[in-house]
Structure 1
Amino acid sequence: MQNQKSALGLDGNVTALIGYPIGIVALILLFIEKDNKFVRFHAIQSLLFWLVFTVIFIALAVITTILAFVSGTLATLFSLLYILTFLVCMGGVILLAIKAYQGQMFSLPVIGPMAQKWAG
């Protein structure tokens, strides 16, 4: 499936790769790609990945802001946790993009099976 051309005229693995770095691109790919299940899987997995990390980032930002009023030390620790979470997110994006480019249906725990189910 990954060697199949996408609606954009690109190889499926290249199209799947471009959905990971910027989440909105994955959303566009989801609407454009109707038949390529490989691209659809990676687009959905990318959207779910970004959704999870967006929720985590927002939660950490709110907690850090509240803690800034209570304790500067705790706020600093949560700021460091925010940076660590960002690095994990970027590492995940790079890993997922590489796996997509290699033509692998690499599935993350929890969101991977959901993406497979929704991709059709």
Structure 2
Amino acid sequence: MEEAPTEASLKRTSLGLDENVEGLLAYLLWWVSGIILLLLEKESDLVRFHAMQSTIIFLPLWIAIKIFSYIPLLGWIIADLLGLIGLIVWIVGMVKAYQGERYKFPIAGDLAEQWLGKVEV
């Protein structure tokens, strides 16, 4: 198991937080915190990557959960399964970001890398 970065290896972000803490915050409120940090963070590529990945994963997931929750029985089951998947991805994303790792989830990680260069706010 990988340990959190040491005090000497931590970089500060443009918002004045440690890079790993701000990366964790990118996942905290699902896509909402991802968008907020995409707008606010100007320097840290690690934080911007996690913020973009959080937005790419959780916005469509949140929309799908909302849609399926209106469909009786089968839709509710699918919404619950998507919620469980979201919980697992949320925890893994926060842990990896806190460890200072640029962890890429399948598909979303590649999209986050591609779109990050194109999104300048």
Matched, 1:108 2:108: no
Deviation of 1:117 (Å): 2.0
User: 1:33 is matched with which residue?
Assistant: 41
Deviation of 1:57 (Å): 1.2
In structure 2, C-alpha distance between the alignment counterparts of 1:102 and 1:17, rounded to whole Å? 9
- Determine which of 39, 44, 54 is the counterpart of 2:52: 44
In structure 2, C-alpha distance between the alignment counterparts of 1:25 and 1:78, rounded to whole Å? 27
In structure 2, C-alpha distance between the alignment counterparts of 1:76 and 1:119, rounded to whole Å? 38
- Determine which of 91, 94, 102 is the counterpart of 1:94: 91
Within 5 Å, give how 1:1-120 maps onto structure 2.
3-22=10-29, 23-62=31-70, 64=71, 75-120=72-117
Deviation of 1:54 (Å): 1.9
Aligned pair count reads 108
Which one-letter code corresponds to 2:68 in the other structure?
Answer: L
> Which 5+ residue runs of structure 2 have no aligned equivalent?
1-8
Percent identity between the aligned chains? 32
Whether the 8 Å contact between 2:66 and 2:79 is mirrored in structure 1 is no
Which one-letter code corresponds to 1:21 in the other structure?
Answer: L
Deviation of 1:115 (Å): 0.8
In structure 2, C-alpha distance between the alignment counterparts of 1:29 and 1:54, rounded to whole Å? 18
Larger Rg: 1
> Which 5+ residue runs of structure 1 have no aligned equivalent?
65-74
In structure 2, C-alpha distance between the alignment counterparts of 1:76 and 1:28, rounded to whole Å? 35
* Larger helix percent: 1
TM-score when normalising by structure 2: 0.80
In structure 1, C-alpha distance between the alignment counterparts of 2:112 and 2:52, rounded to whole Å? 5
TM-score when normalising by structure 1: 0.80
